[in-house]
Chain A
Amino acid sequence: MEDITPFLLSLLSKPGISGYEESVSEIIADRLRPLVDELTISPLRSLHGLRKAATNERRPTLMIAAHMDAIGLMVKTVNHGFLTITTVGGIDPRVLPGQLVTVHGKKDLPGLVQLMPDRLLNNETASKAPTKNQLFVDTGLTQKELADLVKPGDLISFAQPPFEMTGGYIAGHSLDNRASVAALTLCLEEIKNYNLDCNVVAAATVQEELHGIGAATSTFSVRPDLAFAVDVTFAKGPGSNDYRTFSLGEGPAIGLGANNHPALTQKMTALAEELDIPYFIEAMPTSSGTDGMAMQITANGIPTQVLSMSLRYMHTSVEMTSLKDIARTGRLLARFITDLNPDSFSKLFEEKTL
């Protein structure tokens, strides 16, 4: 199988902030095009790549969705040579001081998020945890240069370049959820030479970080018979060790709980066992916090399953995940697809009597 790392690094190097996914959508489209029969773009700019069943008869349709948008920042004001900012998506202001960013003004400008020095603050604000109102972006430009190039509403993306870690791990911003886009790509590559007995729609969705907007609309359009939401979950790491966290690099997490159809949870678990792919069961007592929530309640209801790769330091510029887990996730999905036909589909949802 082709090494996914260069593609993933290219995905991580594009902004694609929620609502403005074009830059990343373009390179995903280029990669998906040879792997699907039809590639379409939804009205909200989600990408839908369709692999058709090798028959004209009616076959079940499976949707695998991964959001491609990323968290970021936005210019609030241009003020005395500095930019005040707000966040797009959930960002802890405490991770922002010292962050390199790109300000997408009339042209792309390097910038740096920083804190006001304590000596210019009073006792209530000095040495405290920063709030986003106290942070600003410094581009190093003069007041006039900046005013000519940047205006309120301009986007600001993380600029810290992604990099490979020792032994098959990767770090960078936007691994949430470009890692899942890479997993979808690997899945499509794996099933490329198979005649399918089901239809598959691989969707790269928009605006997940703003409440699953792309997933809801894409699922409505595609109206699949069953769906997978592929996303990232929390890896164990400093300060993160409770039941919601999983050992990094030791297999994908299969969601269990109301957001997941039990038949799909069982089937994925059985497949992982059969393929000897290590996995975790991720307990989701109420909701999954993923695209799966919007997908499940679309139209008259879609059997949905959440599948996740664990990742450290979510929503920072140094997110870290395992290339092996990306490959495992792709393989697990591919096997589910090649196993799916009208017969197995109807068996999957046979009500079991207690």
Chain B
Amino acid sequence: MIRSEILREIAPILRDHLVVCNIGLPSQELHMIDDQPTNFYMLGTMGLSSSIGLGLALSQPKTVISIDGDGSVLTNLGTLPTIANNVADNFILLIIDNGSYGSTGDQPTYAGKKTKLEAVAAACGCENVVTCQDVDTGKALQAALDSKKMTVIVSKCDSGNIKLPVITMDPVVIKDRFMKAVAS
């Protein structure tokens, strides 16, 4: 499976929760598959999906799922110790690990070579780290939600992209809509 197929499969689970979605194609795909006021789309700032999600989870009680990529986690590796040391049981970090920088032309990442993000997360002190194959992402995500424990999921999938338009929604509209959903 490629990332957009995973997103399509887990969209019914995501719909009921606050979602912070990574810059570029992941946000464009989620926006096309199932646009919801509970989705926060990142239009810039590679690497900060997990940080925004953690800050949000620590600041209010609803469950937050940050959708990240292996390349984006690598660009902000400092996020993993911060997550590990500031446990928010309403936070799930879902790393869709396709071993490539998908939005920029599928250049390989180090996660697609020797580096294992699940081992990095565990070494950073994250207590619940789950590795799964693409087809099992929905099952892993639901299990993490049911556990009510902060969880890092690394979902291994194929690299590959679909053609789709950019998000033209104004950032302030995205944020305003999202904040109203957070507060509702």
Q: Do chains A and B interact in one complex? A: no
Could you tell me which B residues sit within 8 Å of A by CB distance? none
Could you tell me which A residues sit within 8 Å of B by CB distance? none
